[in-house]
């Protein structure tokens, strides 16, 4: 049997007296954690949660967010994290589409929820998860956890455990239904390839609404890790927490790693306890990887590639491959090899499996593939075909089974009939020492359909002009792939809640509201 809540029962039974969560001055053991979520679940049932009901949360990271993730299925419900960077209308769409009956909110988002409350068609109960004065119309978190503990509802295997909506930065968001088996099996797959150890000190600074940190939460429950929480990522507070709590494991996205290792005060903190960093969500520029290996010489780096629809892990690149010299070099630009239990293939448009070295769509199958998209049978059927999950990413496998991602299929730039993969161009730009951030997009061109355009943010005090940057790229990649134009800006590039650069926002000044709509 695979069940999220079984992970908690096991942790309580086997390592019950070890630390489960630490948030500020709040600390609890795994045995206390089990009792607390049993009480929380009892409160949720009193608030009207029935089997299969969706319970949503809009909040920053905390130990109570962690409790929520396990208390909801303990009560028999389905947990739904909500992206904290969404606008009001987007939140309304997510909650109405999921038919969430209960919404858990912290003080950061209570004012926004009050603005949209009248538009929520199914939410019957609001729960205030913070301490302090409870807003009018909300139930207090203390009231729920003060309920009598109840027995685990026993949801497991192919029953829906979590509902994760895709970003919604382009088109309509899709509700990804992940089962107990999806989440637990993928956590066990992660434990096997990401060097997880019992009692790991794990710091949560990546947003907990994202599937990547949910994955870390599941792995932590599986191994009995000790979880520490900050509301959000900020370099100094992160380094302070790492030093104070002797953090051993951390999940970051490359933009966060870049901010951390290039921070002027990084040398003032003792980060020697950090044994493992897992990163993903976007490519790691070589310059940032080299800097990370220099600043954190005893830390093992793991790249993970995946999608919400795969719970999320598909492949992992091991630390021994994060090298630029020797017999194991040459794989740093890859996303690693398939996780145990994952079949990986590259397919063409006719769903033929392509040989090594051929670029096509990355497809996979395994026990971590979602049940489907909520209320979207057609989109589900177009994504899972003959058991294969079609990721929408373009890439190739080398002779050793290492996956190289070249771009999102939808983000590929087609200029004069030539396919240009923005990730390849971005990697070239990042190799210039003056570059802090960059994104490559296609913009309209009357003759070629699209032309390659780069948006670049330089390090403070550094300079390079358009001509110099294009010349730099021509020394590294084919001429047709190089930017034809470059925008330099001082403001950081716009990021999603998961730390990905929002290319849709960068395209808007060029394409307007019509999107990329050229041949």
Domain ranges of the chain: 30-155, 194-306, 420-511
Which DSSP category does 495 fall into?
Answer: B
Tokens at 468, concatenated: 């110099």
Task: State whether the Cα torsion 379-380-383-386 is positive or negative.
Answer: negative
Question: Phi then psi for 75, rounded to 5 degrees?
Answer: -80, -10
Please give the full DSSP string across 224-241, using - where no structure is assigned. T-EEEE-SS--HHHHHHH
pLDDT (0 to 100) of residue 349: 86
Q: Determine the Cα–Cα distance for residues 178 and 176; give it in Å rounded to an integer.
A: 6
pLDDT (0 to 100) of residue 480: 77
- 8 A C-beta contact, residue 41 and residue 71: yes
CATH of 30-155 among 3.20.20.70, 3.40.50.980, 1.10.10.10, 3.30.70.20: 3.40.50.980
Q: Which fold has domain 420-511?
A: GMP Synthetase; Chain A, domain 3 (3.30.300)
pLDDT (0 to 100) of residue 168: 44
Q: Please, what is the average pLDDT of the chain?
A: 92
| 3-state SS record for 57-74 | EECCCCHHHHHHHHHHHH
Beta strands 388-397 and 360-365: pairing type? Answer: antiparallel
- 8 A C-beta contact, residue 462 and residue 482: no
Which DSSP category does 354 fall into?
Answer: P
Helix 422-430 vs helix 286-295: angle between axes, to the nearest 10 degrees?
50
96-125: pLDDT as tens digits: 999 999 999 999 999 999 999 999 999 999
**pLDDT band, residue 43 (cuts 50/70/90):** very high
SS3 content of the chain, % helix, strand, coil (to 5): 35, 25, 40
Please give the full DSSP string across 89-108, using - where no structure is assigned. HHHHHHHHHHT-SEEEE-TT
Tokens at 32, concatenated: 């206390």
pLDDT score of 516 more than 90: no
**pLDDT band, residue 419 (cuts 50/70/90):** low
- 8 A C-beta contact, residue 187 and residue 218: yes
- CA-CA distances (angstroms) from residue 488 to 410, 440, 508? 25, 12, 16
Q: Which candidate, 1, 140, 6, 22, places its Cα nearest to that of 73?
A: 6
189-200: pLDDT as tens digits: 999 999 999 999
- 8 A C-beta contact, residue 153 and residue 51: yes
Beta-bridge partners for 27: 22
Environment class of 434 (CB within 10 Å of its CB; exposed 0-12, middle 13-18, buried 19+): middle
Residue % of the chain over a pLDDT of 90: 79
- CB neighbours of 245 closer than 8 A, spacing ≥ 6? 22, 201, 203, 228
476-489: pLDDT as tens digits: 877 878 999 999 99
Q: Determine the Cα–Cα distance for residues 165 and 36; give it in Å rounded to an integer.
A: 27
Question: Phi then psi for 423, rounded to 5 degrees?
Answer: -60, -35
What's the pTM? Answer: 0.83
pLDDT (0 to 100) of residue 517: 34
Q: How many beta carbons lie within 10 A of that of residue 258, not counting itself? A: 21
Residue % of the chain over a pLDDT of 70: 94
pLDDT (0 to 100) of residue 503: 86
Q: Which candidate, 228, 238, 181, places its Cα nearest to that of 208?
A: 228
Task: Identify the three-state secondary structure at position 190.
Answer: helix
pLDDT (0 to 100) of residue 225: 97
Environment class of 367 (CB within 10 Å of its CB; exposed 0-12, middle 13-18, buried 19+): middle
CA 246 and chain centroid, separation: 24
Question: Phi then psi for 27, rounded to 5 degrees?
Answer: -135, 140
332-374: pLDDT as tens digits: 989 999 999 999 999 998 999 999 999 899 999 999 999 999 9
Diameter of the chain by CA atoms? 70
Task: Identify the three-state secondary structure at position 43.
Answer: helix
pLDDT score of 171 more than 50: no
- 8 A C-beta contact, residue 344 and residue 369: no
- Domain spanning 194-306, CATH class: alpha beta
Q: Note whether 30-155 and 194-306 share their fold.
A: yes
Question: Phi then psi for 165, rounded to 5 degrees?
Answer: -85, 140
CA 429 and chain centroid, separation: 25
Beta strands 249-252 and 226-229: pairing type? Answer: unpaired
Please give the full DSSP string across 375-429, using - where no structure is assigned. T-HHHHHHHEETTEEEEEEEEEE-TT--EEEEEEGGG-EEETTEEE-HHHHHHHH
- 8 A C-beta contact, residue 341 and residue 181: no
Q: Determine the Cα–Cα distance for residues 249 and 252; give it in Å rounded to an integer.
A: 10
Environment class of 467 (CB within 10 Å of its CB; exposed 0-12, middle 13-18, buried 19+): exposed
* Residue recorded with tokens 């962690």: 66
pLDDT (0 to 100) of residue 167: 61
Task: Identify the three-state secondary structure at position 309.
Answer: helix
pLDDT (0 to 100) of residue 7: 98
236-263: pLDDT as tens digits: 999 999 999 999 999 998 888 989 999 9
């Amino acid at each position: 049997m695979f069940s999220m809540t079984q992970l908690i029962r096991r942790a309580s039974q086997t390592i019950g007296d070890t630390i489960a969560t630490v948030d500020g001055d709040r600390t609890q053991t795994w045995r206390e954690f089990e009792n607390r979520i049993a009480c929380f679940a009892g409160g949720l049932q009193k608030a009207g949660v029935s089997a299969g009901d969706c319970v949503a949360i809009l909040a920053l990271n905390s130990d109570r967010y962690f409790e929520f993730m396990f208390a909801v299925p303990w009560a028999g419900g389905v947990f739904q994290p909500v992206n904290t960077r969404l606008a009001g209308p987007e939140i309304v769409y997510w909650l109405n589409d999921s038919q969430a009956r209960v919404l858990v909110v912290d003080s950061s988002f209570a004012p926004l929820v009050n603005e949209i409350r009248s538009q929520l068609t199914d939410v019957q109960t609001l729960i205030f998860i913070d301490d302090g004065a409870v807003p009018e119309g909300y139930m207090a978190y203390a009231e729920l956890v003060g309920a009598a503990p109840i027995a685990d509802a026993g949801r497991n295997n192919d029953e829906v455990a979590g509902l994760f909506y895709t970003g919604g930065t382009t088109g309509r968001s899709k509700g990804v239904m992940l089962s107990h088996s999806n989440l637990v099996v993928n956590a066990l797959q992660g434990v096997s390839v990401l060097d997880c150890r019992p009692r790991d000190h794990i710091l949560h600074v990546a947003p907990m609404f994202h599937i990547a940190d949910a994955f870390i939460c599941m792995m932590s429950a599986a191994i009995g890790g000790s979880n520490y929480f900050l509301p959000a990522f900020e370099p100094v507070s992160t380094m302070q927490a790492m030093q104070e709590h002797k953090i051993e494991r951390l999940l970051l996205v490359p933009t966060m790693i870049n901010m951390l290792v290039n921070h002027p005060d990084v040398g003032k903190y003792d980060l020697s306890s950090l044994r493992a960093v897992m990163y993903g969500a976007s490519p790691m520029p070589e310059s940032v990887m080299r800097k990370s290996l220099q600043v954190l010489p005893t830390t093992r780096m793991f790249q993970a590639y995946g999608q919400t629809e795969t719970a999320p892990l598909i492949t992992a690149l091991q630390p021994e491959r994060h090298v630029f010299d020797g017999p194991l070099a040459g794989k740093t630009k890859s996303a690693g090899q398939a996780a145990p239990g994952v079949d990986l293939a590259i397919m063409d448009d006719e769903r033929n499996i392509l040989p090594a070295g051929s670029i096509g769509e990355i497809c996979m199958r395994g026990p971590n593939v979602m049940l489907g998209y909520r209320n979207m049978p057609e989109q589900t059927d177009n994504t899972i075909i003959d058991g294969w999950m079609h990721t929408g990413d373009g890439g190739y496998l080398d002779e050793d089974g290492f996956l190289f991602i070249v771009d999102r299929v939808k983000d590929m730039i087609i200029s004069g009939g030539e396919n240009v993969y923005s990730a390849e161009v971005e990697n070239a730009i990042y190799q210039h020492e003056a570059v802090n951030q960059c994104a490559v997009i296609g913009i309209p061109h009357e003759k070629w359909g699209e032309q390659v355009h780069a948006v670049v943010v330089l390090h403070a005090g550094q300079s390079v002009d358009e001509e110099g940057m294009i010349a730099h790229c021509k020394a590294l990649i084919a001429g047709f792939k190089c930017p034809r134009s470059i925008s330099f800006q001082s403001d950081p590039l716009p990021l999603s809640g998961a730390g990905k650069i929002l290319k849709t926002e960068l395209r808007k000044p060029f394409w307007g509201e019509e999107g990329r709509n050229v041949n």
